[in-house]
Amino acid sequence: MVKTAIIEAHGGPEQFKIVDLEVGEPGPGQIRIRHHAVGLNFIDCYQRSGLYPMELPQALGMEAAGVVEAVGEGVMHLSVGDRAAYACTPPGAYTEARVMPAAQVCPLPDEISFEEGAAMMLKGLTTHYLFRRTTPIAKGDTVLFHAAAGGVGLIACQWARSEGIRLIATAGSAEKCALAVENGAEVCINYRTEDWVAKVRELTGGKGVDVVMDSVGADTFEGSLDCLKPLGFMISFGNASGPVPPFELAKLAQKGSLKITRPTLFAHIADHATCQQMAAELFEKVTSGAIKIRIDQRFALEDVAEAHRTLEARKTTGQTVLTL
């Protein structure tokens, strides 16, 4: 029996219950993994609230790291005793151990701790597809990145710095702005005290940026479009302030033949070989020292409701993990 955080109804953090569940043996293509740490992500809040509805009851969590305890038939890339980490569907990481599909579980290098592994997979692989798989971004290009002091943001700042990409950041306090700059942003705009659209235009000589990476959603969407240069690319990859409302497609033509996409990590890592290659490239960034995984918040599994409250209140910086 393993302790597991589940929800039986969509709603606020108060919906979490800690229960004991039985863990079975892995079937073909599956493994059983004993978690040492679990990552916390905004997608967990979307699933809990019902913004991304799911069948209930359900354990939440998309990301964790631990040790492989058992391997099902056909699994070739993992063995019993291997250190491993993942960010993938289906949800169910808020638990001490689980049986799950093996294809997107990745061998974790010894140089990376379990907490780092749990904190980096979803956010790091997200950063990977933003910079390498969504639209061509070359050395010297300019990217606007919102929420730059958050989990994805701090990795993105370091990723951009490591590849010579100019990153203009936004964040909600002077302290968060300083953190973004410390991690590689050229400049960080406090959106609570400055007209960030006007500032971006100023910083780019009125031209606008090549790419916007926006996980905030409703609050920043229109302004983000106004920050793009003609033919610029908008990547809307999250809804921290709520989903983007419907808009007229003709706006993209009016603002300079802009391009837009709404990607998800899970489409990018659906193929086993692609997922493993992306993870290997991410791990190389970390083991080389180009990216450091900053874990600023730790909560016990039993305190998962408080962890969600803290995340939704935007009181976090860097990464957040649940400890086991």
Beta bridge partners of 66: 35, 84
Helices (H), the chain: 42-49, 114-132, 151-162, 174-182, 196-203, 221-226, 250-254, 265-268, 272-287, 304-312
**Cα–Cα distance for residue pair 237/195, rounded to 1 Å:** 22
What digits encode the pLDDT tens for the residues 161-196? Answer: 999 999 999 999 999 999 999 999 999 999 999 999
pLDDT for residue 282 is more than 90: yes
Mean of the pLDDT values across residues 8-29?
Answer: 97
Q: By C-alpha distance, which of 201, 241, 189 is closest to 225?
A: 201
What digits encode the pLDDT tens for the residues 59-103? Answer: 999 999 999 999 999 999 999 999 999 999 999 999 999 999 999
Give the pLDDT score at 129: 98
Domains of the chain in start order, with CATH, are: 2-123+266-323 (3.90.180.10), 135-262 (3.40.50.720)
- Name, in order, each residue with C-beta under 8 angstroms of 41's C-beta and a sequence gap of 6 or more: 62, 63, 122, 123, 151
Q: Are 247 and 74 in contact (CB under 8 A)?
A: no
Mean of the pLDDT values across residues 260-275?
Answer: 97
What digits encode the pLDDT tens for the residues 285-322? Answer: 999 999 999 999 999 999 999 999 999 998 888 899 99
pLDDT mean across residues, the chain? 96
**Cα–Cα distance for residue pair 157/180, rounded to 1 Å:** 7
Q: Are 46 and 90 in contact (CB under 8 A)?
A: no
What digits encode the pLDDT tens for the residues 230-259? Answer: 999 999 999 888 889 999 999 999 999 999
Q: Are 242 and 222 in contact (CB under 8 A)?
A: no
**Cα–Cα distance for residue pair 238/216, rounded to 1 Å:** 6
Give the pLDDT score at 223: 97
Q: Residue 304, by phi and psi: left (phi above 0), alpha (psi -120 to 50) or beta?
A: alpha
**Cα–Cα distance for residue pair 289/162, rounded to 1 Å:** 10
pLDDT for residue 10 is more than 90: yes
Tokens of 81: 């005793």
- Say whether pTM exceeds 0.95: no
Q: By C-alpha distance, which of 95, 87, 91, 92 is closest to 36?
A: 95
Give the pLDDT score at 13: 97
State the Cα angle at 270 between 68 and 161, rounded to 5°.
Answer: 90
**Cα–Cα distance for residue pair 221/43, rounded to 1 Å:** 18
